[in-house]
Amino acid sequence: MRISPPHDHFLQLTTKETLGRSSGIILQKEALSIMKTVEVQSSRENIEAGHLFRPTDSNFEKLKLDRETALDALWQLIDYGLTTQLFEIKFDADVGELRLVTFLVGLPGGMPLEEPYKLLITRSTEHLFQYIQAKRILTEETWRTVLNKLADIDYKEEKGSGDELDRLLEPKQFPLQPSADMLKRSRGLIIDELESDPRIVVLPHVGFYSVPESEAANFLHIANEYLVTKVEPLAKAFDTEIRLAFDRIHSTTPVSGNSEPSEIDLIRSKIDTLYGFKEILKENGFYPLVHNLRKVAEMAVKYAELEKKREVDRLLKVYMKMLDSQFDFDSRLLRINLEKDNEHDTIIVDLLRKNPKVLSAEWHDQDAKIAVFVNNNQNNIKDINHLIFQNYRFTTEHILYLKAIIELNEKELKPIFKDDEFVKTYGKNLQSVYFKYIPWFYKLFYFLGVTPIVNSGYAKAKSILTYAQMDRQFLYQKRRENFFKKKLREREERLEKERKQQLKRALVSALSDAYFQKNCLPSVDWLGSNYPAFSAETLEKMIPDFAFVSTTGKTVKPNSVILFPNSPEFDSLNKRLKELFNQWTRGEVEPPEEDPELLVQIRSLI
């Protein structure tokens, strides 16, 4: 058996007839036997169906060849460029495993192999995707491990313990040494396909992970800890433009309560900003991190939008059902307070206003601005008018709500005024309102039938209502200004509180990274070097705020080692840390090169 690998021509194959004419080479009977079988099975139909010749012991036995003789014949066929080794990755869902199926393929009739080869690659990618979706679902623990690697400025894509493709495409998986060009090209095509899928995080030579849509926002928030403490401070130092871009993000304030960006939007802005400097990131690190975070951010945004749409659709159905009610007057004459800080209500109001089946108007009550809605149905308007006369005749607001609807939609409702009964009832409703805004003696003139004087009273009442609406509009604007000022203060307070909590979570993550991943002691110097956001000043404020423990007490020094707080929240981490110290003491794990007395001191503080 030959020891040296054959020269695999990959897709640049020839036929045995061409080979014979050009070089006079005649195949030995063993090689010829395999070649004939390969040719028969290398049809386009078989390639599309995956029914190709597999170099297995059972197939060699069918050709009455022992394994060593068969492999020697294969060496000849590959080396002469008559066949090449291809593969297909298959996912066995029953056992949850991937397997590599290798084939020998020839060129019957000179058929080019490029298209069938890509078909095998496409099928392999589909099976790999199924495996990732089923077996490689990203968890929070794995995500933090991945982020620790990617947030390392010295991270290189070519380094790693190996991903699924690395393990599957090991040359030893093939009967003979495969074409290096085939392996490189195949891997590249598969990774490109996976990269294009928004649900898959692709980390070459580390692993491929499926991100659950419902968890994308949580993963994004975790990633933000690394952006804040490590990536952002270092990236600002790379380039002045990056620093200015981040300053613009942090200085942006909402114009109104409804335009305030969500936390997901803010994190996405950071990622998009960094991605705009991808060439700088490639030169200085962090590009793989930012590249993958864009996927997670897009997924989080889309999922949040989908959830928001679902909730809005649900609420819209509720409101439309209320408007259709035949028994609940308050539902038929629907009012929504526009001064409530409810994003969904704001969207619902807009959708109802645009709905041709609904009529709308606005009215300023004494304490709030109200959006009013009714079904765009003249019989419905007549019913509401009649119900007001029967039950709400002396409740001013209901009559004025209907009045606002009718006046704003006068053109559409013009035919309704041909109904004498409606006009008569509507007039009585308005009359009961107008009499509340004019002196009592106008009622006397009404009963005496002095119409001109009564009409002048109605005009006076209309004028009072109009000016009252103007005053209330002014007060509404003042309330909104105060509301937005208050909301801005609350937002700043909330962001500051969240920033502190974010730093707390990030410090916990950094301590875990030091103790459990890098097997070192997280001194102030180490934290500042690896997580630039944790300066000595920042740590000095955080330690008392969150009860972190320092080996030098309240005074923070460069050599101070930071430990987790001694509180129930951190029981599991402290238990794990105690076990690590015990392993150092017993010599099971190589301890950090520190003063043994310092280790004893730390052990007593846990």
Asked whether the beta carbons of 440 and 413 are under 8 A apart, the reply is no
* Distance, CA of 485 to CA of 174 (rounded, Å): 69
pLDDT at 42: 85
The whole-angstrom distance between residue 446's C-alpha and the CA centroid of its chain comes to: 68
pLDDT at 111: 67
As a whole number, mean pLDDT of residues 16-26 equals 78
Whether residue 7 is predicted with pLDDT greater than 80 in this model: the reply is: yes
* Distance, CA of 284 to CA of 231 (rounded, Å): 11
* Distance, CA of 92 to CA of 526 (rounded, Å): 46
- If pLDDT is split at 50, 70 and 90, which confidence band does 255 have? very low
As a whole number, mean pLDDT of residues 2-26 equals 82
Determine what percent of the chain is predicted with pLDDT higher than 90.
46
As a whole number, mean pLDDT of residues 348-359 equals 94
Whether residue 265 is predicted with pLDDT greater than 70 in this model: the reply is: yes
State the DSSP code for 151: T
As a whole number, mean pLDDT of residues 210-223 equals 93
* Distance, CA of 482 to CA of 389 (rounded, Å): 39
As a whole number, mean pLDDT of residues 200-205 equals 89
- What is the enclosing helix (H) or strand (E) of 100? strand 97-105
pLDDT at 256: 47
As a whole number, mean pLDDT of residues 12-20 equals 82
pLDDT at 13: 87
Burial of 321 (0-12, 13-18, 19+ CB in 10 A): exposed
* pLDDT, tens only, 171-194: 999 999 999 999 999 999 999 999
Whether residue 423 is predicted with pLDDT greater than 90 in this model: the reply is: yes
- If pLDDT is split at 50, 70 and 90, which confidence band does 447 have? low
Proportion of the chain in helix, strand, coil states, percent, rounded to 5: 65, 10, 25
Whether residue 22 is predicted with pLDDT greater than 80 in this model: the reply is: no
* pLDDT, tens only, 294-343: 999 999 999 999 999 999 999 999 999 999 998 899 999 999 999 987 77
Q: What is the pTM of this model?
A: 0.75
pLDDT at 431: 82
Instruction: Tell which wins on pLDDT, 37 or 48.
Output: 37
Q: Which residues pair with 85 in a beta bridge?
A: 104
Angle (CA) 99-105-106 rounded to 5° is 175
pLDDT at 443: 61
Mean pLDDT of the chain: 87
- If pLDDT is split at 50, 70 and 90, which confidence band does 453 have? low
pLDDT at 257: 46
Please tell me the least confidently modeled range out of 193-197, 419-423, 449-453: 449-453
pLDDT at 91: 95
Burial of 86 (0-12, 13-18, 19+ CB in 10 A): buried
- If pLDDT is split at 50, 70 and 90, which confidence band does 100 have? very high
pLDDT at 228: 86
CB count in 10 Å sphere of residue 44: 13
Structure tokens given for 9? 């021509």
* Distance, CA of 539 to CA of 504 (rounded, Å): 10
- What is the enclosing helix (H) or strand (E) of 343? helix 343-354
CB count in 10 Å sphere of residue 139: 12
State the DSSP code for 265: H
